[in-house]
Amino acid sequence: MKHRIVILGAGYAGAFSAGYLARQLHADDFELTVVNAEPDFVERLRLHQLAAGQDLRHRPLTDIFAGTGIRLRVARVSDIDPAGHSVTVVDDSGVDHIHYDTLLYALGSTAAVDQVHGVAEHAFHVAARPAALRLRRRLSELGEDGTVLVVGGNLTAIEAVTEIAEAHPHLRVGLATRGEAGGWLGPKARRHLFRAFDRLGVTVHEHTTIDQVDATAAITADGTGFAADAVVWAAGFAVHPIAAASGLEVRPNGQIVVDRQMRSVSHPDVYVAGDSAFVVGDNGRPLPMSCASAGSTSMQAVGAIIGDRTGRDIATNAQPYVGNHISLGRKDGIFQLVDSDAHARSWALCGRTAARVKTTILDTAAWSLRHPTFGRPGHNYRSVSRPQVPGLVAG
Ligand SMILES: Cc1cc2nc3c(=O)[nH]c(=O)nc-3n(C[C@H](O)[C@H](O)[C@H](O)COP(=O)(O)OP(=O)(O)OC[C@H]3O[C@@H](n4cnc5c(N)ncnc54)[C@H](O)[C@@H]3O)c2cc1C
C-alpha cells in the first residue's frame, strides 16, 4: 500500500510543499492529496487589491498541480483526529473522512475578529478571499460618498488603507491604531509612509484603541465614536482553532508547536508549515507570519518528510527574518530591512522602485508554485522507514 501524505491547505506553504514533494517522491510508493477550501490558489498578499476593486489573476490549483499526480480535494477541513490518522472534511456532498500516514498542516491564518465586541458581526477584513470580496461589494455600494475606517497600524492595515484610498479617491478614508502607524519602521520609511498618507488623503488616528464596532461606527474605550460606513479590521491574524481542538500542542495564539524539523512536538507524524507553525527564527524570536516564513518553513517541512520517509539526511535550512515589503497603492511602496534583532535598519527602499520590487517578489512566489525545485531536476526517492524517529508509522 502506498504511503498516504495529506496536505491541508494550498496557500503559499501547502501548494509549494505539495508540488515539491510530488517532484521528489516515487509515485509507486507515495500518494499525495491536497485539501483546500477553494479550487484556486489565492494570492493572499494581493487580497487588499481585490478588496479595492482590482481583478486578480485566476490560478486554478488543477493547473498548478497538472502532471504531478497530486490529488486535489476541494473541501473545508473541520476536524483532525491525530490518533486515528484521519481528517474530517466537508463539501457540498456532505461530510467525509480522509485517512493519512503523514499529515502536513498548512491551513494558514485568518483575521483576528473575536477579540473585540462587534468585529465578527459588523467589520470587514481582507485576510481571506470571501471576506475581501465582501468588502469590495461594500465599497462599490458606497460609490463616491462614504467613510471607511481601517483599524490596525501594521502591514496589512497600511496596505489596505492606502490601496482603498488610492482606488476610491472620493471616499473619506481613515486609519485608527492603538499605537503608532508603522511605528516599527525606520525613520526614512516612516517619513515616506506619512507622505503617502498625506498624498492619498488618509486621516490617521494614532494611540486610539477601538473597543467596539457596530453597524455604523467604531467606538473607543472612552466612548469616542468614529462614524464609518465600513470598518475594516486589520489588527492582527489568528490561527484557525482546528489545531488546538484536535489536541495538537499549540501556543496561546493557536500556532502549532514544532521541532526544528517542523514536526508537531505532540504528534511527530504531523508536520506544519506557514502561518500555522510557531517557529523561532534564526534571530531567536518567533518568525512573523509572512510569505517568506511560509517559504522557509515549507522547505524545512518537506525536507523532514522526505528524510523521515526515505531515510535520507535532513538538512537544516535557515529561518531568517530580513525585512518586509509594503505596498502603498499600485505605484508606491516601502522595502524595510531589519537587523539581527529584528529592528528596522535606518535605510529603506521607498517609492516606485520598492513597488516594483514587491511586484517581482509576488510574481516569483506565485511562479515557484509551478516550479518548486526552481528548475533543478526532481528525484524518485523510494520509501524507506526511518526507525530512529519516534512516533512514526512505517510506510
Ligand atoms: C491582505 C494581505 C496582505 C499581505 N501582505 C503580505 C506581504 O506583503 N508580505 C508577506 O510576507 N506576507 C503578507 N501577508 C501574509 C501572508 O499572506 C501569509 O503570511 C501567507 O499567506 C501564509 O501562507 P500560508 O500558506 O501559511 O497560508 P495561506 O496563504 O493563508 O494558505 C492557507 C490555505 O489554506 C486554506 N484553508 C484555510 N482554512 C481551511 C479549511 N478549514 N479547510 C480547507 N482549506 C482551508 C486557504 O483557503 C488557503 O488556501 C499578507 C496577508 C494579507 C491578508
Residue with cell 507622505: 195
Nearest CA to ligand 1 atom 27: 108
At 245, is the pLDDT very low, low, confident or very high (cuts 50, 70, 90)?
Answer: very high
Numbered ranges of CATH 3.50.50.60 in the chain? 3-108+240-321, 111-235+324-375
Nearest CA to ligand 1 atom 29: 11
Q: Which pLDDT score, from 0 to 100, does residue 263 have?
A: 98
| Best residue for ligand 1 mutational test, from 158, 272, 287, 290 (most atoms within 8 Å of Cβ) | 290
Q: Does the pLDDT value for residue 299 go beyond 90?
A: yes
The reply to whether ligand 1 has any atom less than 6 angstroms from the CB of 301 is no
Average pLDDT over residues 181-189: 97
Distant-in-sequence, close-in-space partners of 67: CB < 8 Å, separation ≥ 6: none
At 375, is the pLDDT very low, low, confident or very high (cuts 50, 70, 90)?
Answer: confident
CATH of 3-108+240-321 given 3.20.20.70, 3.40.50.300, 3.30.450.20, 3.50.50.60: 3.50.50.60
The reply to whether ligand 1 has any atom less than 6 angstroms from the CB of 232 is no
Cα Rg, the chain, nearest whole Å: 22
Distant-in-sequence, close-in-space partners of 283: CB < 8 Å, separation ≥ 6: 320, 321, 340, 341, 342
Q: Which CATH superfamily is domain 111-235+324-375 in?
A: FAD/NAD(P)-binding domain (3.50.50.60)
Nearest CA to ligand 1 atom 12: 290
Give all strands of the β-sheet with 76-81 in edge-to-edge order. Answer: 76-81, 86-91, 94-99
Q: Does the pLDDT value for residue 387 go beyond 70?
A: no
Which tens digit of pLDDT belongs to each residue from 126-150? Answer: 999 999 999 999 999 998 899 999 9
The reply to whether ligand 1 has any atom less than 6 angstroms from the CB of 294 is yes
Nearest CA to ligand 1 atom 7: 45
| Dist. CA 298 → ligand 1 center (Å) | 13
Which tens digit of pLDDT belongs to each residue from 112-126? Answer: 999 999 999 999 999
Distant-in-sequence, close-in-space partners of 289: CB < 8 Å, separation ≥ 6: 109, 237, 274, 275
- Please state the atom number of ligand 1 nearest to the C-alpha of residue 324: 9
Q: Does the pLDDT value for residue 372 go beyond 50?
A: yes
Average pLDDT over residues 8-36: 98
Q: Does the pLDDT value for residue 390 go beyond 90?
A: no
- Total Cβ atoms within 10 A of residue 333: 25
- Please state the atom number of ligand 1 nearest to the C-alpha of residue 358: 8
- Total Cβ atoms within 10 A of residue 57: 10
Q: How far apart are CA 206 and CA 217, in angstroms?
A: 17
Question: How many percent of the chain have pLDDT more than 90?
Answer: 93
Nearest CA to ligand 1 atom 15: 290
Higher pLDDT, 112 or 17: 17
Contact 88, 79 (CB under 8 A): yes
Q: Does the pLDDT value for residue 18 go beyond 80?
A: yes
- Please state the atom number of ligand 1 nearest to the C-alpha of residue 108: 27
Q: Which pLDDT score, from 0 to 100, does residue 11 have?
A: 98
At 394, is the pLDDT very low, low, confident or very high (cuts 50, 70, 90)?
Answer: very low
| Best residue for ligand 1 mutational test, from 107, 109, 239, 293 (most atoms within 8 Å of Cβ) | 107
Residue with cell 520517509: 309
At 385, is the pLDDT very low, low, confident or very high (cuts 50, 70, 90)?
Answer: low
Cell digits of residue 347:
535605510
Tell which phi-psi region holds residue 390, choosing left (phi > 0), alpha (psi between -120 and 50) or beta: beta
Q: Which pLDDT score, from 0 to 100, does residue 393 have?
A: 43
Q: How far apart are CA 253 and CA 218, in angstroms?
A: 25
Q: Can you say whether the dihedral through the CA atoms of 38, 105, 313, 258 is positive or negative?
A: positive
Q: How far apart are CA 146 and CA 170, in angstroms?
A: 8
Which tens digit of pLDDT belongs to each residue from 29-58? Answer: 999 999 999 999 999 999 999 999 999 999
Q: Which pLDDT score, from 0 to 100, does residue 386 have?
A: 56
Query: Mean pLDDT over all residues of the chain?
Result: 95
Q: Does the pLDDT value for residue 376 go beyond 70?
A: yes
| Per-residue buried b or exposed e for 337-361, using 16+ beta carbons within 10 Å of the residue's own CB | bbeeebebeeebbbbeebbeebeee
Q: Does the pLDDT value for residue 389 go beyond 70?
A: no
At 395, is the pLDDT very low, low, confident or very high (cuts 50, 70, 90)?
Answer: very low
Q: pTM of the entire structure?
A: 0.95
Q: Which pLDDT score, from 0 to 100, does residue 248 have?
A: 97
Question: How many percent of the chain have pLDDT more than 70?
Answer: 97
